Amino acid sequence: MKKQIYVDYLRVIATFAVIVWHCTSNIYYQFGPIEEWMPASITFGPLVRWSVPVFIMISGALLLGKEEDPMTFYKKRFTRILIPAAIWILIYGSIKYLHFILPYPSVPNIFKKVILESFGLFFTNQLSYHFYFVSLILGLYLLCPFISRMVRGLSKSQLELFLLIGITLLSVRVFYQNLFLVDNFQLGGNLIFFVLGYYLHTYPPTPKFRWTLYISAIVLAILSVWLTYRKEYVGMAHDDTFYKTHGIFVFVFSSAVYVLIHQLFSTGIEEKPDGKFRKLILFISSNSYGFFLAHPLIINILLFSKSRFYTLTTSNFTLHLGGKDIGFTMNNQVGAYFLATLVFFILCICFYVARKIKLTKYLT
């Protein structure tokens, strides 16, 4: 059986990049010392901002080339999104209430706070900042059978024109929101990423195009960091103009990462795990949705639980061992990388255990 293995590697690096993004964001937004803010800005922007778009592009690459009846498509995929989301909503609500708010609640309060309030907060997008992705992917899945028919009916040049129009107008809107035509442009950036993934998967770029894309991504990365520094750090005000997901910078970053990984890893080798590293990649890739849903919870537990055994912030890590403290201090951005790595490692352990006890399908 043939498998597009580059997709597995894309999922793994995008998963880790999302975790780094959420561990770095507070440092980026706090306008701390330049030696901390600048690496946080570089990380928050060109190094990880492409991660969620790449997940969307992967979905487009894998789904838009298929012809399926809409109801068949919905039955196959909606439960795979909704069941893990529902389980994690309950887990988030339980830990938030039982661990952070009230250790010994009454049963009626558990029902009200954990079940009713958790789902209420989820449906108003207030439970946790990352659950918006569930809504995003469900919206794309609703349209997928119809968009699939459209893109498969377009020639390569027509598809390129469609993407050019969408990316251009969305990118202009980042800078000139009230400009004629742009202000009422009705095509969403997530849909463009969805179709872009299909395009890059179906029509792999030529070597000349690849190098043009890579060089453009490097130039725009440097430019976006410098412009962000001048506008936001010097001005001490955030609006993320140059890191907006649906702007030209992130469209180029995302395309470059997608094409690079596609180029580096063979797209048609046998689906036969070869060694421990390949098995690890397959394991993380198959659980990437669960990693995405779970990681903010792990971050919050590590940073905000009042543990007798350790103290952890992005600037300090200390183990409390029998009255003796062992630890170290660090630059906040280095601490963000340390935290992200720790979260990633914990998630690997959690989902390995879930697989062993056959709970994976409920969590990812």
CB 78 within 8 A of CB 139: no
CB atoms within 10 A of CB 289: 21
CB atoms within 10 A of CB 212: 12
Q: For the whole model, what pTM was predicted?
A: 0.93
CB atoms within 10 A of CB 156: 10
CB 275 within 8 A of CB 350: no
Find the radius of gyration of the CA atoms of the chain: 22
From first to last of the 364 residues of the chain, give the pLDDT tens digit.
345 789 999 999 999 999 999 999 999 999 999 999 999 999 999 999 999 999 999 999 999 999 899 999 999 999 999 999 999 999 998 888 776 655 555 555 667 767 888 888 889 988 899 999 999 999 999 999 999 999 999 999 999 999 999 999 999 999 998 899 899 898 899 999 999 999 999 999 999 999 999 999 999 999 999 999 999 999 888 888 999 999 999 999 999 999 999 999 865 444 455 678 889 999 999 999 999 999 999 999 999 888 888 999 999 999 998 778 999 999 999 999 999 999 999 999 999 999 999 999 999 9
What burial class does residue 249 get, using C-beta atoms within 10 Å of its C-beta: 0-12 exposed, 13-18 middle, 19+ buried?
buried
315/327 Cα distance (integer angstroms): 11
The three-state secondary structure class of 126 is coil
Question: Would the CA dihedral through 335, 341, 347, 349 be positive or negative?
Answer: negative
232/31 Cα distance (integer angstroms): 9
